[in-house]
Amino acid sequence: MMSSWVSSALAGSILLAVIALPSYASEEGDSVLAPAGADLFGQYCASCHGVSGEGNGPAASALNVPPADLTRIAARRGGDFPDSEIARFIDGRFDLPAHGSREMPIWGRRLGASIAKGTEPDEVARGRILSLVEYLKTIQRK
């Protein structure tokens, strides 16, 4: 999964290298990053995906494509949670959706505000996306 991702058109970019699976990532969700991701999820994602991540948020009915059930990311992929693919999808700056316009906001841009003097918006976005991915691992159902 990761190798096909890394060998894609943007291979070599620092951006991709940093979003890619960190060495400390675990199957259950990193215990430091996941809680930060939970806060971000409530703030940015629950409106569509629902507080529990099942895809039933208040804004869901206004969309053409239903928000995915994020508790079944792994279940939809035979039990495998593909960190890199999910980080890349959330970011959204790299892929054009196969089926026309994407309903998900391009989080790589939205989450990239500079949070303090000296922080790079892009680093902030990557850190936040990583936290979100770690959080999503903690809500996976069998």
Residue whose entry in the numeric block shows the structure tokens 């969700």: 29
Shortest CB 31 distance to ligand HEC, Å: 19
CA–CA separation, 97 vs 9, rounded Å? 16
Residue whose entry in the numeric block shows the structure tokens 């990583």: 130
Nearer to ligand HEC by Cβ, of 98 and 117: the residue is: 98
CB 20 within 8 A of CB 6: yes
Nearer to ligand HEC by Cβ, of 67 and 112: the residue is: 67
- Provide the token pair at 57: 């948020």
Nearer to ligand HEC by Cβ, of 13 and 43: the residue is: 43
Nearer to ligand HEC by Cβ, of 12 and 115: the residue is: 115
How many residues does this entry show for the chain?
Answer: 142
Shortest CB 137 distance to ligand HEC, Å: 11
Interface residues toward ligand HEC, by CB under 6 A:
44-45, 47-49, 59, 63, 65, 67-68, 70, 73, 76, 86, 89-90, 102-105, 107, 132
